[in-house]
Homo-oligomer: A and B are copies of this chain.
Amino acid sequence: MEHPLTLKDEPGKPLYRQLFEHFAEKIRAGDMPPGERMPATRELAGQLGWNRATVSAAYELLEAEGLINGHVGRGSFVTAKAAPAGFDWSSGREQREPEPMAPAGGIGAGCISFVVSRPSSALFPLDDFRESCEAVLRRSDLAEILQLGVPSGYGPLRKRLLEDARRAGLASPGDDLIVTNGCQQALDLIARVVLNPGDRVLVEDPAYPGLRNLLSAAGAQLVGAPVREEGIDVAEAKRAMERERPRLAVITPNFQNPTGATLSLAARRAFLEAAHAAGVPVIENDPYGDLRYAGEPLPALKQLDESGGTVLLRSFSKASFPGLRVGWALGPKTLIDRLRRAKEASDLHTDQLSQAVLLEFMESGKLDAHRQRVLRAGAERLAATLEACGRYLPPGSRWTRPEGGMNVWVRLPRPLDAGELLPRAQKAGVAYLPGRYFAVSRPDHGALRLSFAGLLPEEIRKGISILGNIFSDELQSASGDFESSTAMV
């Protein structure tokens, strides 16, 4: 078969980016004149033997650059006027640009979406939220809340969080706390002050794209240690830390995203010991720790580590309102001081209205009440997910069995490719994120993430039954080709 295009061989550059550059060059050079129809994404994907989403991502970028125009149902066309010559806003840190975090093609209305790891807005206690806001509006220090604040956070919230951390045995005497725009910004600030380009960072493999993007943007080299049913493989992580001497380890011990895996107490101790032995500071990223639906809570790494080598990141987002961007970092004062200066340079301080409202929401007991409802709903949704996986996924499928959080990680039997099957699932009204979005160094084409927390149990069952049908169909039609090879596994 003759390919309609030849891409330069640029290993390490994402395929969608290579495809984008190929077309951008042709359009800018006038080889593809205004009005010319672009190849249909489905056909081009077929010709290249690629995932259609990869082609769509390239087309999105072309459209973003104003080089093509898409019309639903009619295809895409080279725009009448190519981008103006002059300023080149697309150059700069080319190689560091993060990949898009969500699949191209998006999520249609009425679609059952397992795509986003977030709580259900139907559970938001709106009346309680209103009451907390109104209490803040009545406060005598309202004008101070609206005035320019300090980089470490709204004083009363910061004080409360630090006191709670001390009471819980999480904070050592030499620790301090900074309020950030969620865990994501805490990670970003840490990357800024600690990492130099080329530094290695140990992460779980798979990891969520937000973490990977952020570390790549900081110029870090990711070293992945595989995640098993019980969290990061400590023996592998130990070897990697001894061999690679990473500058940091970033780890999510509770209900890791995307796998949902949780590190046992013994594994926590062993991991800390390995990190200490290798002199690697640990960033404990814990946005999901509050969302345990079953089993006993485990002590945080921060609590187990008396050496000052761990920083704990937590957030209000997952257990309350993700639209309010408030999280925090707790760790040695030396580091927190540096984060504070980086925070000031980055965006001065976190929004104070939301800090004050969340403090009120917490102090009035409403956060705890809400958390109880979230835990009940989460337990139901998790149970529905696990039950539906057992009932509908084809034989040979495997999935994690988390006790909390928002995500279940599924591995389909060979030769199924979750990325290739996504367009078919989307057409049938179900979306998920395929495993390749989470790969650090071990792409797992058979894997996918099901983020269940935002869906009702009946939606979960329906969605997984549709997926089960698609996967089973594909497995049957592929069984001729692969019977011998699967039999050998």
Contacts and interface: CB of A to CB of B under 8 A. Distances in A.
A264 interface: no
Nearest to A117: B148
A332 B324 CA distance: 28
A385 to B, nearest CB: 20
Interface in A63-85: 64-66, 83-84
Interface string A351-368: 111100100000000000
A321 interface: yes
A306 to B, nearest CB: 9
B188 A346 contact: yes
Given A89-B332, A118-B147, A322-B148, A347 B185 contact: yes
Contacts of A184: 345-348
Contacts of A308: 84, 86-87, 89
A307 B357 contact: no
Contact of A92 (B90, B142, B195): B195
A98 B279 CA distance: 26
A214 B342 CA distance: 8
Interface of A: 61, 64-66, 83-84, 86-87, 89-90, 92-93, 97-98, 100-101, 116, 118, 121-122, 124, 126, 129-130, 133-134, 137, 142-149, 174, 180-182, 184-185, 188, 192-197, 210, 213-214, 217, 247, 276, 279, 281, 307-309, 317, 321-326, 331-335, 337-338, 341-342, 344-354, 357
8 contacts: A87-B309, A148-B317, A180-B347, A181-B181, A188-B346, A192-B217, A326-B351, A354-B354
